[in-house]
Structure 1
Amino acid sequence: MFDSGLISYVFAVFVSAAIVLSVLTLGHRLRKTGETAEHTHGRTSHEAAIFLFRAGVLEDANPLGLERIGPLRSAEYVWGDLYQALVSDFPEFPTVQGADKERSCITLRAKDPARSDLAIIDQRGNTARVTIHADPGQIPARNNRAWKAVANAPYPIWQVDKAGQVIWRNAAYDLLAKRLGHEGDQGHPIFDIDLDLPDREPFRTGITDKSHNQTFWYDIIRVSTGDETMCYASDANAIVSAEVAQRNFVQTLTKTFAQLSIGLAIFDRNRQLALFNPALIDLTVLPADFLSGRPSLVAFFDRMRENRVMPEPKNYASWREQIAELVVAAADGRYAETWTLPSGLTYRVTGRPHPDGAIAFLFEDISAEISLTRRFRADLELNQSVIDALPDAVAVFSATGRLSLYNTSYCTLWRTDPDTSFAEYTLRDALPVWRNETNETDVWARLQAFVMAPTDRTPWHETVEMRTGERIHLSVHPVDRGATLIRFCIAVEAANAPLASVPEPI
């Protein structure tokens, strides 16, 4: 009898050998079937991209298959990705991996009769082997620099079919889709693109991240090749933000300028009107439609000349030269003139340089100011003529001692003219003159204290004697704002005669 342990050992070896033999036989049959299908169509496996899927997820791929996958990692590549990549060439490619218990093998031909591409799907259970045979001229060179540059570009790049479904995208596109929560629907594009738009013309579109209530802006260019379209997106968030900030700034300026009474006209670097406010229409009498048409600087001033709202040039032939000089002066910030118009109005016109070569002109109606100034000057001249007509010498000193007013009789009596002084003429300048022309007296010290004192402002009178022997009656009166009126009257009567009444201060 045989030893029972030996029998058990032999039996175990026999079973193990049988299992190994069965596995090898099954693998051989699978490879044989694939190779038979490949050789049937005149192809070899080294010309094909091969993918091995299990339960809809890619487990392995040969080098050509890995090139087709691109920047996606194998663990992220699913059957739907392969479907999106192949459906344009193989419309009958299954949308999902089958799960038949029985083994099946199907062969699909490319829809383009000019191409001999084949897709072979060898499936058993939840495992599928997909072999893609492509014409040598049609195999994408994904290992070259151009493909790597596209696949690894920092901006989204993707390809869509004629139905608008995404059939390829780069890593930046996938990252953006994941950020927006669209990674589950890889066939539907995350950008809303009108496929009827012309090729190679950039357009801007925004996509919204609803979770963060934020919109991302991109400039997109489409390039179509047959039924497929490559799309390139570049980040435009900084540009959009700058445009929004500029638009808000212009709106703020426009609202501010609309409240100004000064007319504003800004010409851009091309010397076309870029901005104006309502006051400009009122001051220049130029129609709004003319200003809205962005006239040139020369046309703007020509129309103003025609409307007689600027001085008429003496020599029309040199008019353009004057405008050119005006522009140069404004660009340097040197232009500032007062225009007296035929209508009697007076404008102050100022030219100032602005950034980027622009020029701004300010038009201010100063007619009321000029009229007030002229009337004030006329009143001063009238008052001065009245004071000059008085026979007595008169001088008015302010609370600080500055000589504010005097007449010609004062200059004649004291033989001095304060207007010839380079500096401001004050009481300190007048006292030496008075002391030099009169005998010694304490009147001048008393007068100095009175003029500079803020209190004890009671009028008083005194008499001083000139070195020539003449007697001068001195009358001192306080007036408004702390000023002091001093009247010098030459005595024509005896020293003890009463002084004539002093008129009220002017």
Structure 2
Amino acid sequence: MLTPLAAAILWPATADAAPLPFGSTHSELGQLAVSLGLVLVTTATTYVFARARIRATEREAELRGTIAQLQSRLDRSEALLSAEPQIIATFGHGEELEVTGALPTTTGVPGGRRALGFGAWLGPEEAARVEQLVDTLRERGEGFDTSVPTRRGGYVALDGRAVGGRAVVRIRSLEGERLTIAELEARQHATQAQLAGLKALLDGVPQPAWMRDAEGKLSWVNAAYVRSVEAVDADAAVAAGMELFDTTVREKAGAAAATGGGVFRYKTPAIAAGERHVFDIHEIRQGSGRAGLAVDVTDLEDMRTDLSRRVASHRKTLDELTTGVAIFRSDGRLAFHNHAFRQLWRLDSMFLQQEPTDSAILDRLRAEEALPEPSNYREWKAQLQEAYRSVEPREHWWHLPDSRTMRVVQTPNPEGGVTYLFDDVSERIDLESRYNAMIRVQRETLDNLRDGVAVFGSDGRLRLYNPVFAQMWKLPATELSASPHARRIFSLCRVLHQPPEPWEMLTTAVTAMQESRLPVSGRIERADGASIDIASVPMPDGATIVTFSDVSAGVAMERALKDRNEALEAADRLKNAFVKHVSYELRSPLTNIIGFTELLADPSTGPLTTRQREYAGHILESSASLYTIINDILDLATIDAGAMELELSRVDVRSAVQSAVEGVRGRLAGAGLTLEISIPAGAGSFVADENRVRQVLFNLLSNAIGFSPEGGKVSLVVGRNNDCMTFTVSDNGPGIPAEVIEKVFDRFESHTEGSRHRGVGLGLSIVRSFVELHGGKVWIDPSQGQGTRITCTLPLDAGAARLAAE
């Protein structure tokens, strides 16, 4: 095909051409035109091939770009597939199989082709199901998406798809929400299986069972229920709402579920399969609905009715007997008693009508002294009640306090419980019963004593002993059963205690003549460390009782208490010595601290900033408090050592009180407290250590200030009588509990609850020590909640009081 330009050039050479210009001939022009046409054709052809080559080059570049893009997308796809732990299996045509990827070893899934051996890492059922899904995918192209549990307890997801004529199976490990969903699905399947099994079980039981929804309507019934209401099937019974029980019973069950208990049990008759039956209904709340089961107890009720008639007949017969009869149920309560039983024990009819237990009846009879008097009543009663667990009758002989003898037979009942039969046989065995009772009491008394007892006859031979005696001295039963002489017994005892003195003393006490026998006593220390107290008591009939009491525990406790007391005294001495030494060692550096601090605070030393002066003031205050504490400790240590000497002089009462008040005036102002002082006109003076008196008053006022509320009141009342001065300090603080009053004067006891007071607990201890050193007394009046009042008395002449005390 020619280009337009070539067509335009060649067009004049065609037929019907116009005349040639310039007088040229047609042949020349024709040749020229042919030459020009060939040139033009060649040029056009070259142009066409050049354009085609250019287009091919552009198409090749475009294809290369597309291939690069596809390769990039393929690389990204492979990177994405490799980023997630998974196994991809591709089934091609025929037997072609490609497996790539791997899962963590914790999943239990092997890598490579072994991953398709599902039986190696899945359970049998799950492996069979997965293999079936893979076969269906390969044969029919049906995809699947499921999750399965592994043998190691984890979960994996299996996804199968048909892609490009190939079957692709992808295995991934589940995590996060997908794992939770898989576990929930597995739990749901298990729950559904359990529910199906439970429903199948209920369908097989002969008792009607049902389930109701939140509105109380039937939602499911079992086969027995269908038979009872004579329905076609379970669905028909539910759809028709065929009820087995009447409305009243259903309303009661609904009320029981609504009250919160959720459990309903009721026995009622109903028509089931056209016949009257008695059902024991059990219904419980289940979620928003209820589930119930009805047990047919018709035969049981018939048997109970027949049994009731028989029991009534038997009771009428038993009521005519002279033997006392009491029948107790399995729970121990009285089910029946005849007239003879009530008359025999003189029991009140109202009491017996309350169906008391046999234990309650025995306790009442014991309180009325109508029972035997065993040495151990609890053990005796427990032995009686063992009949409830026995299968054989038991016979007892009771010797009562009113001289009656009772033959008691306990017969276990087949349905549970015990029947008691009481026969009064007093006239027949009165004398024998008294003798046996005395022997049993004697034996039981000896056997239950904590001390070893041996009774020797007038001939010196062993007549009676208790087990404690044999155990204490490790005596063989074969020796004791032969009634050996006292010398033989005591020679065996010498194995544990060799010295002969106590045994010779006991032998003499046992074998001496009646007129010369005297009680003896003593204590021996055995070789095994035991301490035994021995004593002998002569009896009027010529026998001798020898007792052996093991007092090892008491002796050991006594020794331990003595050792502990000595250790405490030593520790107290060590503590006092330590406190005294440390206090002396602290006083010197503390004096230096106070001196240098006062020197720093003195303006002549140099100017200080406001904060520095404030810090110096705090140091002085703290040092003064510490100095006071050290002085108190030293004073207490001096008093404990007995080295405190009072500097006695004539003390003016008003001056001493004023000095003590000056010391606490700053604290009074800081706490906003009011101080009331009452000193009688005739207070005068008395003989005492003035410094110690001021210290006592200062500590009492400080204690009252510390326990007084802001804006409160503290009072100091001074009194004088013929032989002493009285100082009473009161506050209106919280008071001191009665149980704490005895401890407040102890050292280092500080009870600061409910107050601003803080201290080491030496103030009141110092008060008591100084007051007692003067020969006076101090006490606290118990008035909890109404403040505290402390009173101390000092003799008018402390010197005379100390001389009288010495």
Question: Shorter chain as normaliser: what TM range?
Answer: 0.3 to 0.5
Which has the bigger relative contact order, CA under 8 A and spacing at least 6? 1
**TM-score, normalising length: structure 1:** 0.36
TM-score by length of 2: 0.24
- Which protein is bigger by CA-based radius of gyration? 2
User: Which of the two has greater helix per residue?
Assistant: 2
